[in-house]
Structure 1
Amino acid sequence: MIRILVVDDDFNVSHIHSEYVSRVEGFEVVGEAASVAEAVQAVRAHHPDLLLLDIFLPDGTGLDVLRQLIQDQGDARPDAFVITADHDISTVRAAMKLGAVGYLVKPFSSADLAERLNAYRELHHRMDTLGLVSGTVATDQADVDALFSAVRPPAIPRVPVKGHSAPTLTAIHQALRTAGSALSATEAAELTGVSRATAQRYLTYLEKEGIARLELRYGATGRPEHRYRIAR
């Protein structure tokens, strides 16, 4: 089990996040903390693997927690997902510099958190497989790239000014990500409730941006069918 400490100054929000964690296989909440001081003490007491760390705390910030843990524990400190309503770029940059492995902006759904946690679990699995936990170094570039990208979900491209809408783009993107196989424009349209022509336009855009990959399925006669899947 991957052990998680939830840090949030709002008692109710902390419980909600703990409930979200409980729905994801392979994770358990070992404690909750509501301040910088409580978080540092709880890390020392419970030795979590991962923090769900709010930025705004009554006696400082989540960044202060990270700084204190770096000072106290160095490389032995737990990883952290920074969770906050603040999406100012300077805060994101500071969290990255302090070693945060993920960033979630409130409000988010249990599915959003589950996606990050499952990716984090995959990261641990890859590290075990490659022997990095015992100190060996991965020698393959693909392995290194996979480790660095494990907790970062596929990006959604910036929506063009004309001809596309963010909700539709997100819906098509989500349909591709959750599909068990490559989708045709007709199938994507049925899943998202848009017309086939609209689905085709968004699929083409995602393929152009490198988010989707085009596959050609050849039948007995006629033109090949265009099908799309998330690019890996």
Structure 2
Amino acid sequence: MSDSALTTLVVDDDFRVASVHEGFVEKVPGFLVVGKAHTAADAIEMAQRLQPDLILLDIHLPDGDGLEVARILLDNPRPPMVLIISAAADIAAVRTAVQLGVVHYLVKPFGFAALAERLSAVRAAHAKLTDWPADAGQEEIDGFFELLRPMPSDPDMPDIEHLAPTLQLVYKTIGSGSAGLSASDIAAQVGISRATAQRYLTQLEHIGAVKLQLRYGQTGRPEHRYSIRRN
């Protein structure tokens, strides 16, 4: 697996819907579909065998409840992130999903943009967890939960002039770096914490104003660098 891609398992009882969701996922940078399951039993077996980073999980499966599948998988020592995709919108299903710790809940039918927004948020949150600082405090925790909030993306028309002043400053600072800047670079130049810089960078990426690039160094862990998106 590439460090830049989150492996994803798609679970839906309808073969055609699963294929559509697979196509959606693979259109979003940073994701790789490693399997499709159509039953609860297959979902559990494939999740345990493939160890995906993310599972897109339907609730209504022919041989069981997707929420029970989530309960089993999230109880593992190395649990995946779970994004529920279901036509069920009743309070019992939503409450159970929240209690289990799913990262998002998307009601069918939905379009590509709705899923892409949530996948981008999941990728940003996953990257934050991977690079979690040993001295993390409340600010880092707040930043993590902020990352899970999807933001609409419009790569063709980033409305830079209507952004908050600090966001504009971060955007302009990125534009001054020809080779791309890291969150630490931005923090130092703008005079904000690294966690705050990362939160602003994620917002700018979500609206299509900047693009994320991975630079590999000696340690093997890629460094996240941001540059202005020029269409």
Which segments of 5 or more consecutive residues in structure 1 lack a partner in the other structure? 155-172, 184-211, 216-231
Q: 2:43 aligned with 1:39, yes or no?
A: yes
> Aligned Cα RMSD in Å?
2.4
2:99 to 93, 97, 100: 97
SS state at 1:12 partner: helix
Question: Which gives a bigger RCO, structure 1 or 2 (Cα 8 Å, sep 6+)?
Answer: 2
Alpha-carbon deviation of 1:66?
1.3
Q: 1:9 to 1:129 in 2, by over 3 A?
A: same
1:59 to 63, 83, 90: 63
Which segments of 5 or more consecutive residues in structure 2 lack a partner in the other structure? 167-202, 204-231
Alpha-carbon deviation of 1:181?
1.1
Equivalent AA in structure 2 for residue 152 of structure 1: R
Provide the rounded CA distance (Å) in 2 between the counterparts of 1:10 and 1:153. Answer: 26
Which residue is equivalent to 1:209?
none
C-alpha contact 2:7 2:31 (8 A) present in aligned 1: yes
Provide the rounded CA distance (Å) in 1 between the counterparts of 2:82 and 2:74. Answer: 12
Provide the rounded CA distance (Å) in 2 between the counterparts of 1:61 and 1:109. Answer: 24
State the identity %. 42
TM-score by length of 1: 0.63
Alpha-carbon deviation of 1:143?
1.6
What is the count of residue pairs matched by the alignment? 162
SS state at 1:152 partner: coil
SS state at 1:3 partner: strand
Alpha-carbon deviation of 1:61?
1.3
Alpha-carbon deviation of 1:174?
8.0
Equivalent AA in structure 2 for residue 180 of structure 1: D
1:149 to 146, 151, 164: 146
Say which one has the larger Rg.
1
The CA deviation string for residues 100-133 of structure 1, in whole angstroms up to 9 with x for no partner, is 01110011111111111111111122223333xx
